[in-house]
């Protein structure tokens, strides 16, 4: 056999084997990735009434105290950052608002909060806890997080960043986050449907009762 032909066939064989191994490894790691994702999300589905898990969409659905809940691993709007997003559906009409809490900068000790709404007084009317208290209850640590209400989507939403799948909340944190969102949704409904001068305790204090 021509040595050049033999060398060419050998190279083709090596290339074929390499492609086959690459395909096998891709399938293996994809299955391993899905197994890890299911292990993290399945317990969250079990927290919910009639909870279901769509592994391909990395989404958990169900009800928490009769309110529809949708929680998912997704990417942040307008960027490549992976986030864990939890929606409690409660269409209350009214106006949209957004609270973003940022960790302290190097020369600061306190978190920075940004609140966006057509009516700046809405922050006080909602009686949301201070950013530091929210960060503690949500175990935000040195990460940012945001709370928002969208009347078009009809949900109150919590968004937290993810570096790895280990940042998917555990059962206890998921449940406490749902309790917070439920309290925010209830107060938001009161404010959106019947705006009034803020009085009484904050949401955080109400949850401790």
In a domain, 13, yes or no: no
Domain housing 58: 32-207
Instruction: Give the confidence band of 206 by pLDDT, cuts at 50, 70, 90.
Output: very low
In a domain, 4, yes or no: no
Average pLDDT, stretch 115-121? 92
pLDDT of residue 146: 96
Highest mean pLDDT among 110-114, 161-165, 191-195, 205-209: 110-114
In a domain, 16, yes or no: no
Question: Is 22 a residue whose pLDDT tops 90?
Answer: no
Closest CA to 181 of 65, 7, 15: 65
In a domain, 7, yes or no: no
> d(Cα 86, Cα 159) in Å, to the nearest integer?
7
Percent of the chain surpassing pLDDT 90: 62
Average pLDDT, stretch 131-137? 92
> Average model confidence (pLDDT) for the chain?
85
What tens digit of pLDDT does each residue of 54-82 get?
999 999 999 999 999 999 999 987 778 89
**3-state SS class at 174:** helix
> d(Cα 197, Cα 186) in Å, to the nearest integer?
16
In a domain, 181, yes or no: yes
Give CB contacts under 8 A, 24+ apart, made by 6-15: none
The total number of residues shown for the chain amounts to 209
Q: How many structural domains is the chain composed of?
A: 1
């Amino acid at each position: 056999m021509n040595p050049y032909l033999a060398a060419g066939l050998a190279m083709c064989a090596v290339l074929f084997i390499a492609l086959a191994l690459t395909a096998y490894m891709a399938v293996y790691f994809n299955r391993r990735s899905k197994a890890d994702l299911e292990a993290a999300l399945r317990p969250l589905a079990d927290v919910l009434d009639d909870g279901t898990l769509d592994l391909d969409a990395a989404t958990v659905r169900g009800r928490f105290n009769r309110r529809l809940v949708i929680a998912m691993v997704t990417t942040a709007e307008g960027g490549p950052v992976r986030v864990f997003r939890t929606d409690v559906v409660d269409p209350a009409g009214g106006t949209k608002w957004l609270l973003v809490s940022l960790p302290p900068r190097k020369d600061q000790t306190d978190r920075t909060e940004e609140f966006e709404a057509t009516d700046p007084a809405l922050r006080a009317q909602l009686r949301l806890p201070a950013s530091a208290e929210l960060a503690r209850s949500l175990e935000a640590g040195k990460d940012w997080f945001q709370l928002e209400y969208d009347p078009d989507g009809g949900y109150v939403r919590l968004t937290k960043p993810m570096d790895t799948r280990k940042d998917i909340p555990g059962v206890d944190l998921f449940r406490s986050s749902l309790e917070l969102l439920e309290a925010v949704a209830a107060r938001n409904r009161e404010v959106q449907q019947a705006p009034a001068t803020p009085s009484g305790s904050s949401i955080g204090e109400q949850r401790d009762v």
